[in-house]
């Protein structure tokens, strides 16, 4: 049985929504430890038995991540990461500051051998299966060699979670031609083309919809904008469809049609997974939306727990270790 450490003070609605989500995850059979202001957390637990470690300091979205990690030694994210380091938990979930989670992870758990720069890998919905976008927010400014390594890490991640051989790797760009893009994309294209990866060339933003590639690679600045744009578009589509159904459908037909549309709605709902992997570090760390609801937190904790149960981090670390040798 795995245990997931949760940063209870991270997120726009923390600790209330985080604690509610942890309670829901516990009801779904997941062992959870909460890290944060113990007195405040226990007031939201309302008698539910979930262990709490007392790390009362909060790193807000406005804080400078590096400075906050140096000065706030009792920050909730550090408590959660320390539980993994001490083998008291098998993974960490945080909906707090991405920068603080990244820097804290590097400080406490360390970077995987051979990795130039960690990356946040988001799993996006697709037609047949999901697609992977990395980096989706950890490194805003990268070099071509790092994008090459992102392609390698994304390839191995796709093999593990989707169980496919030789995943297709695409470089996100403003056109398909090799000459397109900035210097970084043109240089990365050459590196990817000469690598052993199944590189299919440049791909555009519209290609997410047709799952042209299994892995989309880009810098963290572009990736984060893509991710949030897709989430906003999905919510807009849901509202437009819901309004159209209410206006156009005969009332007795409304419920059956809504039920038929539910799988589509669930697939597009960011709260249904709400966890992106932080790749290239010595431990299982997942990152959620700052605006996570209790439902989103629950699903993220369950997702992280399933990854721990399947031995994800060992499989991934072993896979990239072998890859670096070649």
Residue reference for tokens 């945080």: 94
Element (H, E) at 277: strand 276-279
Q: Is the peptide bond before 46 cis (omega within 30 degrees of 0)?
A: no
Q: Which long-range contacts (CB under 8 A, 24 or more apart) does 222-225 make?
A: 222/172, 223/120, 223/122, 223/133, 223/134, 223/135, 223/136, 223/137, 223/172, 224/136, 224/137
Mean pLDDT of 219-224: 90
pLDDT score for 235: 72
Among residues 152, 153, 168, 167, the alpha carbon closest in space to that of 202 is found at 168
Tokens of 289: 């939306």
- Give the whole-angstrom CA distance, residue 154 versus residue 157: 5
Verify that 60 and 11 share a domain, yes or no.
yes
The answer to whether the CB of 285 falls within 8 A of the CB of 101 is yes
Highest mean pLDDT among 74-83, 131-140, 196-205: 74-83
Verify that 107 and 121 share a domain, yes or no.
no
pLDDT tops 80 at residue 168: yes
pLDDT score for 266: 56
Quick: pLDDT tens for 16-69.
999 999 999 999 999 999 999 999 999 999 889 999 999 999 999 899 999 999
Tell whether 29 is covered by a domain.
yes
Per-chain mean pLDDT for the chain: 88
Total number of domains constituting the chain = 2
Mean pLDDT of 213-231: 88
**CATH number, position 32:** 3.40.718.10
Tell whether 202 is covered by a domain.
yes
Name which residue leads in pLDDT, 271 or 302: 302
Verify that 131 and 63 share a domain, yes or no.
no
Distances, alpha carbon 225 to alpha carbons 120, 197, 205, 261, 267, in Å:
13, 26, 11, 27, 20
- Give the whole-angstrom CA distance, residue 121 versus residue 276: 5
Q: How far, rounded to the nearest angstrom, does the alpha carbon of residue 116 sit from its chain's CA centroid?
A: 19
Tell whether 59 is covered by a domain.
yes
pLDDT score for 265: 55
- Which domain range does residue 263 map to? 117-273
Tokens of 130: 């999901």
Tell whether 69 is covered by a domain.
yes
Question: How far separated are the first and last CA of the chain, in Å rounded?
Answer: 35
Verify that 210 and 145 share a domain, yes or no.
yes
Verify that 187 and 70 share a domain, yes or no.
no
For the chain, percent helix, then strand, then coil, each to nearest 5?
50, 15, 35
pLDDT score for 120: 95
Verify that 86 and 165 share a domain, yes or no.
no
Among residues 167, 105, 114, 128, the alpha carbon closest in space to that of 324 is found at 114
pLDDT score for 257: 53
Verify that 109 and 134 share a domain, yes or no.
no
Tell whether 80 is covered by a domain.
yes
Tell whether 220 is covered by a domain.
yes
């Amino acid at each position: 049985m795995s245990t997931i450490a949760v940063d209870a003070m991270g997120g726009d609605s923390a600790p209330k929504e985080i604690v509610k989500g942890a309670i829901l995850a516990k009801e779904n059979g997941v062992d959870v430890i909460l890290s944060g202001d113990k007195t405040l957390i226990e007031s939201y637990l309302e008698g539910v038995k979930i262990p709490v470690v007392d790390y009362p300091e909060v790193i807000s979205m406005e804080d400078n991540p590096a400075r906050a990690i140096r000065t706030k030694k009792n920050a909730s994210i550090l408590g959660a990461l320390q539980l993994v380091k001490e083998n008291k938990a098998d993974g960490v979930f945080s909906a707090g500051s991405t920068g603080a989670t990244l820097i804290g992870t590097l400080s406490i758990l360390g970077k995987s051998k051979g990795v130039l720069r960690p990356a946040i890998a988001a799993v996006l919905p697709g037609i047949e299966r999901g697609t992977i976008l990395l980096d989706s927010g950890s490194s805003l400014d990268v070099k071509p060699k790092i994008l090459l390594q992102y392609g390698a890490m994304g390839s191995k991640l796709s093999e593990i979670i989707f169980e496919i051989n030789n995943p297709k790797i695409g470089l996100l760009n403003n056109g398909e031609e090799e000459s397109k893009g900035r210097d970084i994309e043109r240089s990365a294209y050459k590196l990817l083309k000469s690598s052993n990866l199944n590189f299919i060339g440049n791909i555009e933003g519209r290609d997410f919809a047709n799952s042209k590639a299994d892995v989309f690679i880009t810098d963290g600045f572009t990736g984060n904008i893509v991710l949030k744009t897709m989430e906003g578009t999905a919510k807009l589509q849901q509202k437009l469809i819901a309004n159209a159904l209410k206006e156009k459908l005969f009332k007795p037909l409304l419920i059956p049609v809504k039920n038929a549309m539910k799988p589509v709605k669930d697939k597009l709902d960011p709260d249904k997974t709400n966890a992106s992997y932080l790749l290239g570090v010595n431990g299982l760390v997942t990152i959620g939306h700052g605006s996570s609801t209790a439902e989103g937190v629950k699903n993220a904790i369950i997702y992280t727990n399933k990854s721990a149960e399947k031995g994800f981090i060992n499989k991934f670390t072993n896979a990239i270790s072998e890859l670096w040798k070649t």
